Structure 1
Amino acid sequence: MAFCETNLLSFALVFMFLTPTFVASSHNLSQRRQASILLSLKQNFQDVERSLSSWKDSNSMSICTWTGIECDENQLVTSLDISNFNLSGFVSPEITKLHTLVNLSVSGNSFSGIFPSEIIKISSLRYLNISSNMFNGTLNWDFSQLKELQVLDAYDNAFSGPLPSGINKTAVPKLKHLDLGGNYFSGIIPPVFGGLNQLEFLSLAGNDLRGFIPAELGNLTNLKWLRLGYFNQFDGAVPPEIGKLSNLVHLDIGSCGLKGPIPRDLGNLKKLDTLFLQANQLNGSLPPELGNMSSLASLDLSINNLTGAVPSEFSQLKELTLLNLFINNFHGVIPEFIAYLPKLQVLKLWRNRFSGSIPSELGGNGKLIELDLSTNKLTGELPGSLCFGNRLQILILFDNFLLGNLPDGLGKCKSLSRIRLGQNYLSGSIPEGFLYLPELSLVELQNNYFTGKFQESRNVSSSKLEVLILSNNHLSGSIPNSIGKYSGMKILFLDGNHFTGAIPSEIGELENIIKLDMSRNNLSGTIPQEVSDCSSLTFLDLSKNQLEGPIPPEISQIHILNYLNVSCNHLNQSLPKEIGSMKSLTSADFSFNNFTGSVPANGQFLFFNSTSFLGNPTLCVPYLSICNNSVPATIDELHSSGERKSRVPAKYKLVFALALLICSLIFAILAMIKTRKTGKHPKSWKLTAFQKLEFGTEDILESLKDENIIGRGGAGVVYKGIMPNGEQIAVKKLGIGKGSHDDSGLSAEIQTLGKIRHRYIVRLLAFCSNKETNLLVYEYMPNGSLGEVIHHRECEKNNGTVHLKWDVRLKIAIEAAKGLSYLHHDCSPLIIHRDVKSNNILLSSDFEAHVADFGLAKFLQGGVNGASECMSAIAGSYGYIAPEYAYTLKVDEKSDVYSFGVVLMELITGKKPVGDFGEDGMDIVQWAKRETNARKECVVKVLDNRLKNVPFNEAMQVFFVAILCVQDQSVERPTMREVVQMLAQAKQPNTFQLH
């Protein structure tokens, strides 16, 4: 017995000394094993040099210090957070071997492929964030193994199929946060989601969901955030059961096709601070019960079919900062109580039928930042309190019946940046200092009855004003010398007033001005030669004044001027021959002056018609037979005269032709030798795949045959290829000048498309290159480009003829808009396409639109609100280029919006952007505006005659959007996100049809 006790004691002592060593050894083994798993994961990541430099074999004994890793007291990995590390590649199932994970986040990267469903094996997982990547496939996992899961965030990926009904109360009883928005989920919202009674956040917005919003969501009584709109298209109305969500703080069901009235039950949501129901088809009047939402700060019900007046109960919304009711059918007066909402900052009620006067104390709360009441039937005077507190930035009241003077307080409103008061009955003088306010960038006061002078200012060294439109008023006096202080001015319209005196020479200091109109005044003196310093000028109208003297020849130094009108003055002497060298000048009017001598028969003068020279009694235009001098009377005679002077002996022509033929043969032989040296051997090519491919370089090269050519362009040749597995691809072989690896256009296209995964943007599958050639491999679009289809009578599909009917055109417009909206608003970094046109919108087998060809794309610095970028040269396609881009080389996302507006015009009219209008220089935008006077009700005048049974309201809405997109001023164009919303609104039920 004693012996046994002695041995047991000895064993215990040995165990006590050995246990720490054993435990340490176990920890070391665990550390090495976890390090091995992490390094295995890293092998499938790309762009890891900076982000994951600490993940090294030599550092495997201290993985808890690695970037993005957290451990528990036993040195076991519990958190892996590599969000926003700019990584790409894919996540392998190896990650599931980290079985102690509680937190996993890979968000904000560019991972693609299938996210491993084996993640369900990590039963301890509480937080899973895979948002803002490019994962695809479905989420039909067995969630029942994730009993501890509290957060599932899969926002902004490419998941598809139905929403996972496996996410239910039994499977994930602790789930609090569920975000499946920004994907391609289709079908209905599973009613079982209504059983997730712990849920506090639910977002399904930005998918392709249909059906009704299930009433069962009203059971989520712990819910604080609910987002269901944007790209989804639901049937029916807003479920009244939503009113039972007593803890709801944020409700966003905008832009998703909802119909019917707003349920009164929403008034029960006392904690709600945000209600967004904009861009739907809601009708009826505003429920007075909404006034019970005492916490409401933001209310947006714009772009619907709502009617009636604003209920008096809204006076109880004391927390309201934003009220958007624009583009509805509201009527009656704007209630006086709106002026007394203590926190109101933004009020937009434009395009309704409000009447009466503006509330007299509006702005008196000292918080008002933006006010837009335009296109209503408002009368009376402007309140003097609008800028009380000096916070007002935007004031838009155009197209009303407003009377009286501008309040003096506006002349001291230093916060003002944009003011639009055109098309009213305003009178009196412009307040002193108003036109020189420091932040002012746009002023429109046209078509009113303003009197008095354009006042001088000596206290302002410079100004931010870019657009000043004072047209059609009764302003008088001289144009002040301080006009030169507007160093950033781009548009200056002073036409249709009573200005007198000379044009100040300081006008030459407006180096950035694009359009200048001083017509229909009483200006006298000469045209100052300093106008030639306005090097950005494209439009100059000085007609219908009392100007005299010559046209300064220096005006020819304005190399991009394309419109010049000096008619109806007293100008004299001869026309400067230098004007003939102005290749950009396509329209000029010298009529009804006192010009003398002969019009030079050279350059641009030959393109001006006879009306350009009428009313000049002693002016000779020999090539138009407007003269009695003995000079050649026709252009043909001029040409034949020129031919006689330049005749070359025939023998020299023969020698020249033979030399040219020999040079061509030598060039062809050298090209063949070079091609043979390059060869097509796969080993000489490098293949970069942007997703898993079932084919290789040799298969791609096999497609490069003449019989496979499906398109040619300035960028190169496009081939169709059929891979061994039957997959169809398009291969763009870049042309000469696009072959070097440092080519900026190629680099842009690869960087842009390689990481984008969006339903309505064409997929770049791979990039293939050798020393001489670059190939871009895309998914193949069987129906070619929209341009090819819309501008040909028909297209072939399934061996039959398919006409592009109205509903298909509208669908294509919405889909292409969604693709561009993604680039402008949701991509990281944000992207400007710079070459939006119908030929760059490709159509799949079912005519689904895909934005393509990113060879000119640029990253948008500073986000959507960043400054315009200045390009070194004009890029894009003729007929689609926005005015500010063509004339200033400055580009932002609104340049794409203009180009998309042209595409909408093509879809509506069936005409090409240029060349279909019978007049030199006229494009589709000018033609459509002229034919319709830019009124949507006149869309029938320009509608494609191939279209039948077009819903009139739809055609009007699409044309209205197109007109907005092609506004001359970029600031007046909508964003692509707004375009998507307005186009979605075009689909209206029960509309009568055209034709």
Structure 2
Amino acid sequence: MPPLRRHLTAALLLLLAAAAAVSSATLPPDFLYLVNTLKPTISDPTSSLSSWSPSSTSPCSSWTGVSCDPADPLNATVTSLDLSGLELAAPFPSDICLRLPRLSSLNLSNNTFSSPTADSTLSSALVGCSRLVGLDLSQNLFTGSLPESVASLPLLTYLDLSGNNFSGNFPERYGRFPRLEVLSVVYNLLDGKIAPFLGNVSSLKMLNLSYNPFVPGRVPDELGNLTNLEILWMTECGLVGEIPVSLRRLKKLKDFDLALNSLVGVIPSWIMELTNLVQIELYNNSLTGELPQTGWSNLSGLRNIDASMNRLTGIIPEELTRLPLESLNLYENDLQGDLHPSIAESPGLYELRVFKNRLSGVLPPDLGKKAPLRWVDVSSNEFVGEIPQGLCDKGALEELLMLENSFSGRIPESLAKCETLTRLRLGDNKLSGDIPPGLWGLPSIYLLDLSDNGFTGSIGEEIAGAQSLSVLTLSRNNFSGSLPSGLGSLVNLGDFSSSDNGLNGSLPDSFVNLGQLVRLDLHNNDFSGFLPKGMGALKKLNELNLAHNRISGPVPGELGDLPVLNYLDLSENKFSGGVPDELQNLKLNQLNMSFNLLSGALPPMFSAEMYRKSFLGNPGLCSDIRGFCSNRSRMRSAGYAWMLRVIFILTGLVLILGGGWFYIKYKEYKEGKKAADKTKWTLMSFHKLGFSEDEILDCLDEDNVIGSGSSGKVYKVLVSSGEAVAVKKLWRSSKNKEIDGYGDVEAGNYDAQDGGFGAEVRTLRKIRHKNIVKLWCCCVTKDCKLLVYEYMPNGSLSDLLHSSKSGLLDWPTRYRIAIDAAEGLSYLHHDCVPPIVHRDVKSGNILLDAEFGARVADFGVAKVASSTAAKGHESMSVIAGSCGYIAPEYAYTLRVNEKSDIYSFGVVLLELVTGRQPVDPEFGEKDLVKWVCVTLNQKGGVDGVIDPKLDSCFKEEICRVLNIGLQCTSPLPINRPSMRRVVKSLQGISAENAAKRSGKDEGKLTSYYNDDASDPGSAA
């Protein structure tokens, strides 16, 4: 380059650098700190801080989360920083208050900020925040002790530290806040005592200590000194003893929540003196005696009282029933006596839940006539008499649950006009008569349960109008007549049970239109005729029970095309003909075709002793099973000798005439076949491959089989590079029309029903993560499909953990496996767009490499989570998953989201800690989760559940992993942590406990946080 040109270029670069420096220099110091110092330290995966730019001319109005002092004409000082919910991650900036001296509000909630680095602490970092009025650090990953220095901030009125991992006791300085009005430490790991000196902070208006593992103790009397308190939330705080009388001084109290503790004694009558009360939450304690009988009229603002799950007796006070309540929850008590008629006079009552008590008598006849009732649940009591006529008079009733009582009479005609009704459950009563016609066709109803009564008449044609109906249960009544054809138009019907009635006629042809049907139970009726043609269209059918009817004709072979059918009972009918070979395609847990008119030879799969009881009472069936075809044995023996002679003669002729030709053609055939077979395969790779499909195909022989299952076999194949790969070979039946649409393999059109092949390919081909098993490629031909994975030499976690090789898995190894698997699932839930729900998380689907590193595998039933699924509203047609790992809500609602995976992963953590399988005969009817909970509560604590093979020096780490497993397996999905939080909790265990293993208390095993609750203080 010529010298002049070189000098000009250098001058230009200097000018550009100077211009950039001038541009940055135009920003005031507060903003220079944010953009040059703070922003580079923050992980910002969603680019939420992209507006923080040095070239910005108006940062006060354009920078995300930044507010300035309105009194400052130059807008040069930052007074508020709100970075809540931006998915940011970083250590807490230790110099933020020094660099932003006028900062009055700091909100970092709902991110993954953590405690400062080793040269600082959160407490020291907050020392300089003298102008702070509000500080919100909730829902992050802060650890250690509560920050002491905040108690000295002279202007602080709002402090929210909830949803973190703070532990230990309250610092004594927390009794000296000068102006604090709100203190929330909900969902932490505080394991000391509830500090009495909190009663010295007389300025407090809200105190929220809920969901911490405090040492069991009484409610401190000193809290009665908080005379300005409006909200007292102490849910699940280990409280014992009686409610202290000192709390009667809290005259401004609006929300009074002492739920989920071990309080005893009576509900004190002085509560009636707290005239500002809006909500009383005392559920799940051990309170006894009666509700206060007088004084309720003083609580004119009361909207909700929940005294459920206690040991209360007596009646519901008449004065209480006249209040304008929004909610009255008194279920699971020992209340006795009638429900007082005056409850019907409550002008604002719209929710009545008194289930699981010993209430008796009749329901007030005017119930619902004056109040806009929406939810009524009086199940599991001893009520008698008729259902009140006016329950839906205000046109608002949505749920009416009256299970397990002794109600009698007819269903009121008024309910047949209640178009808002969504759930009606009247099962297990003494009701009778015909069903009002309009009830069948209610437009909004999705669950109708009339089982275990004495109803008569037929199912009305009006049922075609119930287009929202999902569950219809009519079993054990006296219904008669034929099924209406309109049933086939209920496109959302997933469960239809009408067993033990007197229904007759043929099943409607329209039944084959019920594409969402999962369960059909019509046993013990009087149905006749043939089964409808097209039953193979019910692809989601999981259970079919038509036993004890008079159905005739052949058993349709298309039943073998139902991909998820695992319960088939056609016994005690008049089916004839042979047992279809197609039924061998099914993976059945229950098969019963006994006592029909079936004949012919049993298919080979069913010619085994284990199926003998499945085909009893069919004298025409022949099989090698003992007891079948016994009257033909002599004829068969006589014929065998003649048949054997013919077979030997024909065999000899074939050998002589065909031997020469076969020998000539054999080599030509052998060489041509291999080349022809290979040309039929289509390969699609998802990574750069160091092998060809020929290398894979050449090694698919029985010597290389390392595993097999219902969908095919798995081979270990050594390729030319010396690397091993695992090949899963899936076979597909030509009769399964559901999976014929493979089309263009290279375009990525895979069908998810083909043994999980399509779902697995669609999922794994786009995933790149060290803890997800790598799918190298797939090979497809007309009759066979291959999935080629990285090879995991140590097999599955289940194989090692529950075998004689479990000694290889010491605690450090198990702990690392837990973290690896958690990181893989966290990637699926939080880093994939849209998120992916695995739906079959189990130890058998966690594979281990040579160093025992874990990979999540088997995505055959994985599902992309839609926007509704993420909120818990997407329902699956069948239960995917494995016994012992399935989340409770999934089993009875079929709703699937990430919380279902979290439950299953919690079971895996419990397996790692206990060394036991999720289902074990030793547990009886319980699974591993219930066994752990029972053992912890009744049989001596953690020593009774920890695997005895594990070294006791790791006991504290093991206990904390056990804690996380119990949190993940909470019965309520909202109480389960996200996988991201699970990963952080697991990662924080080892380093934090290394220096404290000796002498550390095991702690209370309970649920510590809920990172999905929007209002943790009112979680009930």
**What TM-score do the two structures reach when normalised by structure 2?**
0.67
Shift of 1:123: 1.5
- Name which of 82, 94, 105 aligns with 1:103: 105
CA offsets per residue over residues 612-658 of structure 1, 9 Å max, x none? 2232333333444511155599xxxx9xx99x999999999x999xx
Q: Distance in 2 between matches of 1:360 and 1:421?
A: 18
The answer on whether the counterparts of 2:456 and 2:479 sit within 8 Å (CA) in structure 1 is: yes
Partner AA of 2:212 in structure 1 = N
Shift of 1:522: 1.5
Shift of 1:504: 1.2
For the pair 1:416 / 2:418, whether they are aligned, the reply is no
Shift of 1:586: 4.0
Secondary structure in 1 aligned to 2:342? helix
Secondary structure in 1 aligned to 2:576? strand
- Name which of 454, 459, 481 aligns with 1:454: 459
The answer on whether the counterparts of 1:398 and 1:423 sit within 8 Å (CA) in structure 2 is: yes
Q: Distance in 2 between matches of 1:338 and 1:748?
A: 58
- Name which of 201, 225, 234 aligns with 1:228: 234
Shift of 1:141: 2.2
Go from structure 1 to structure 2 and tell me whether the alpha carbon gap of 1:547 and 1:69 turns closer, same or farther (over 3 Å shift).
Answer: closer
Q: Let me know the Cα RMSD of the aligned residues.
A: 5.4
Partner AA of 1:553 in structure 2 = G
Go from structure 1 to structure 2 and tell me whether the alpha carbon gap of 1:62 and 1:118 turns closer, same or farther (over 3 Å shift).
Answer: same
- Name which of 585, 590, 599 aligns with 2:588: 585
**What TM-score do the two structures reach when normalised by structure 1?**
0.68
Aligned residue in 2 for 1:991: none
Q: Distance in 2 between matches of 1:107 and 1:943?
A: 34
Aligned residue in 2 for 1:32: 28
- Name which of 132, 146, 150 aligns with 2:157: 150
Shift of 1:427: 0.3
Shift of 1:289: 4.9
Aligned residue runs from structure 1 range 542-581, under 5 A: 542-580=546-584
The answer on whether the counterparts of 1:185 and 1:207 sit within 8 Å (CA) in structure 2 is: yes
Secondary structure in 1 aligned to 2:313? strand
Shift of 1:366: 4.2
Aligned residue in 2 for 1:293: 299
The answer on whether the counterparts of 1:366 and 1:391 sit within 8 Å (CA) in structure 2 is: no
Q: Distance in 2 between matches of 1:508 and 1:661?
A: 41
Secondary structure in 2 aligned to 1:272? coil
The answer on whether the counterparts of 1:404 and 1:425 sit within 8 Å (CA) in structure 2 is: yes
Shift of 1:583: 2.6
Q: Distance in 1 between matches of 2:512 and 2:279?
A: 50
The answer on whether the counterparts of 1:748 and 1:858 sit within 8 Å (CA) in structure 2 is: no
For the pair 1:265 / 2:270, whether they are aligned, the reply is yes
Q: Distance in 2 between matches of 1:622 and 1:421?
A: 50
For the pair 1:84 / 2:59, whether they are aligned, the reply is no
Go from structure 1 to structure 2 and tell me whether the alpha carbon gap of 1:126 and 1:901 turns closer, same or farther (over 3 Å shift).
Answer: closer
Go from structure 1 to structure 2 and tell me whether the alpha carbon gap of 1:143 and 1:621 turns closer, same or farther (over 3 Å shift).
Answer: closer
Aligned residue in 1 for 2:316: 310
Go from structure 1 to structure 2 and tell me whether the alpha carbon gap of 1:92 and 1:671 turns closer, same or farther (over 3 Å shift).
Answer: same
Partner AA of 1:36 in structure 2 = L
Aligned residue in 1 for 2:64: 67
Shift of 1:506: 1.1
The answer on whether the counterparts of 1:393 and 1:417 sit within 8 Å (CA) in structure 2 is: yes
The answer on whether the counterparts of 1:897 and 1:974 sit within 8 Å (CA) in structure 2 is: no
Shift of 1:528: 1.8
The answer on whether the counterparts of 2:717 and 2:724 sit within 8 Å (CA) in structure 1 is: no
Partner AA of 2:403 in structure 1 = F
Aligned residue in 2 for 1:135: 142
Partner AA of 1:147 in structure 2 = P
Q: Distance in 2 between matches of 1:774 and 1:609?
A: 37
Secondary structure in 2 aligned to 1:387? coil
Q: Distance in 1 between matches of 2:875 and 2:392?
A: 33
Go from structure 1 to structure 2 and tell me whether the alpha carbon gap of 1:118 and 1:978 turns closer, same or farther (over 3 Å shift).
Answer: closer
Aligned residue in 2 for 1:112: 114
Q: Distance in 2 between matches of 1:876 and 1:500?
A: 37
User: Mind listing any 5+ residue stretches in structure 2 that lack a counterpart?
Assistant: 1-23, 117-121, 675-697, 705-714, 726-759, 775-788, 812-824, 847-855, 945-969, 978-1004, 1008-1020
Secondary structure in 2 aligned to 1:187? coil
- Name which of 530, 533, 536 aligns with 1:529: 533
CA offsets per residue over residues 497-525 of structure 1, 9 Å max, x none? 11122211111111111111112111222
The answer on whether the counterparts of 1:472 and 1:495 sit within 8 Å (CA) in structure 2 is: yes
Go from structure 1 to structure 2 and tell me whether the alpha carbon gap of 1:563 and 1:862 turns closer, same or farther (over 3 Å shift).
Answer: closer
- Name which of 412, 418, 429 aligns with 1:407: 412
Shift of 1:322: 0.6
Go from structure 1 to structure 2 and tell me whether the alpha carbon gap of 1:143 and 1:30 turns closer, same or farther (over 3 Å shift).
Answer: farther
Aligned length: 789
User: Mind listing any 5+ residue stretches in structure 1 that lack a counterpart?
Assistant: 1-27, 676-735, 751-771, 776-783, 800-819, 842-851, 918-923, 933-938, 956-972, 986-995
Q: Distance in 2 between matches of 1:667 and 1:259?
A: 66
Q: Distance in 2 between matches of 1:489 and 1:467?
A: 6
The answer on whether the counterparts of 1:154 and 1:181 sit within 8 Å (CA) in structure 2 is: yes
Aligned residue in 2 for 1:249: 254
Q: Distance in 2 between matches of 1:944 and 1:208?
A: 16
Q: Distance in 2 between matches of 1:910 and 1:666?
A: 28
Go from structure 1 to structure 2 and tell me whether the alpha carbon gap of 1:773 and 1:137 turns closer, same or farther (over 3 Å shift).
Answer: farther
CA offsets per residue over residues 733-783 of structure 1, 9 Å max, x none? xxx999989427868999xxxxxxxxxxxxxxxxxxxxx9999xxxxxxxx
Q: Distance in 1 between matches of 2:300 and 2:419?
A: 33
Aligned residue in 2 for 1:361: 366
Go from structure 1 to structure 2 and tell me whether the alpha carbon gap of 1:787 and 1:900 turns closer, same or farther (over 3 Å shift).
Answer: farther
Go from structure 1 to structure 2 and tell me whether the alpha carbon gap of 1:738 and 1:88 turns closer, same or farther (over 3 Å shift).
Answer: farther
Go from structure 1 to structure 2 and tell me whether the alpha carbon gap of 1:797 and 1:579 turns closer, same or farther (over 3 Å shift).
Answer: closer
Secondary structure in 1 aligned to 2:321? helix
The answer on whether the counterparts of 1:366 and 1:390 sit within 8 Å (CA) in structure 2 is: no
For the pair 1:121 / 2:107, whether they are aligned, the reply is no
For the pair 1:329 / 2:334, whether they are aligned, the reply is yes
Secondary structure in 1 aligned to 2:575? strand
Secondary structure in 1 aligned to 2:114? strand
The answer on whether the counterparts of 1:623 and 1:632 sit within 8 Å (CA) in structure 2 is: no
The answer on whether the counterparts of 2:200 and 2:226 sit within 8 Å (CA) in structure 1 is: yes
Go from structure 1 to structure 2 and tell me whether the alpha carbon gap of 1:224 and 1:905 turns closer, same or farther (over 3 Å shift).
Answer: same
Go from structure 1 to structure 2 and tell me whether the alpha carbon gap of 1:434 and 1:205 turns closer, same or farther (over 3 Å shift).
Answer: same
Go from structure 1 to structure 2 and tell me whether the alpha carbon gap of 1:378 and 1:835 turns closer, same or farther (over 3 Å shift).
Answer: same
Q: Distance in 1 between matches of 2:389 and 2:551?
A: 40
The answer on whether the counterparts of 2:578 and 2:602 sit within 8 Å (CA) in structure 1 is: no
Q: Distance in 1 between matches of 2:426 and 2:489?
A: 23
Q: Distance in 1 between matches of 2:205 and 2:113?
A: 28
CA offsets per residue over residues 771-827 of structure 1, 9 Å max, x none? x9999xxxxxxxx9999999999999999xxxxxxxxxxxxxxxxxxxx9xx99xxx
Q: Distance in 2 between matches of 1:290 and 1:795?
A: 66
Aligned residue runs from structure 1 range 465-504, under 5 A: 465-504=469-508
The answer on whether the counterparts of 1:41 and 1:94 sit within 8 Å (CA) in structure 2 is: no
Secondary structure in 1 aligned to 2:31? helix
For the pair 1:513 / 2:517, whether they are aligned, the reply is yes
CA offsets per residue over residues 708-752 of structure 1, 9 Å max, x none? xxxxxxxxxxxxxxxxxxxxxxxxxxxx999989427868999xx
Partner AA of 1:481 in structure 2 = S
The answer on whether the counterparts of 1:478 and 1:501 sit within 8 Å (CA) in structure 2 is: yes
Shift of 1:395: 1.3
Return 49-58 or 353-362, whichever deviates more.
Answer: 49-58
Partner AA of 1:610 in structure 2 = R
The answer on whether the counterparts of 1:247 and 1:269 sit within 8 Å (CA) in structure 2 is: yes
Aligned residue runs from structure 1 range 267-282, under 5 A: 267-282=272-287
Go from structure 1 to structure 2 and tell me whether the alpha carbon gap of 1:202 and 1:631 turns closer, same or farther (over 3 Å shift).
Answer: farther
